[in-house]
Amino acid sequence: MPLLLQGGFFAALLGAASAWDIKKRIIPDSICLGVALTGLLIFEPMKLFGILAAVPFLLAALVFGGMGGGDIKLMAAAGLVLGLQKGIAAIIMGLTGMLAFHAICFIVQKLRGRDAPKAYPLAPFLSLGCLAAYFLI
């Protein structure tokens, strides 16, 4: 029962983060805090290492730029719920989904004679990866 309760809160908050990111291109800190607090519903000390799942995003932002802090905070918070192994799996699935989406958009836009978008909100893809990792792995 606690697993479903945590999963429900996790899914709702990730949905909210995705909606905010799509609409306003930001992820409110309050949503990230809510995701992190969701990790306390079923606390396991080893899941604290899940914060490290956000390190690649932090490094990418510092080295290359172009990534918002909300994505980094969202993955750090989700890492507290998922743990490190599932957090990494979530990132892989989320970014793979984004690449597939971009490939489809690129092909469709080229067929229409337009340029494909250069950037997408990342939270929806990361959220799908997080939910897949939470419920499927």
Helix H or strand E segment including 111: helix 69-111
Query: What pLDDT is recorded for position 116?
Result: 82
- What tokens were used for 15? 């949905």
Long-range contacts of the stretch 64-69 (C-beta < 8 A, 24+):
66/119, 67/122, 68/25, 68/26, 68/27, 68/122
Gap between the Cα atoms of 19 and 26, Å rounded: 9
Q: Is the pLDDT of residue 66 over 80?
A: no
Gap between the Cα atoms of 50 and 66, Å rounded: 23
Amino acid, single-letter form, for residue 15: G
pLDDT in tens, 4-62: 999 999 999 999 999 999 999 999 999 999 999 999 999 999 999 999 999 999 999 99
Query: What pLDDT is recorded for position 137?
Result: 87
Q: What is the CA radius of gyration of the chain?
A: 15
pTM equals: 0.93
Query: What pLDDT is recorded for position 76?
Result: 97
pLDDT in tens, 89-126: 999 999 999 999 999 999 999 999 998 888 899 999 99
Read out DSSP for 52-100?
GGGHHHHHHHHHT----HHHHHHHHHHHHHHHHHHHHHHHHHHHHHHHH
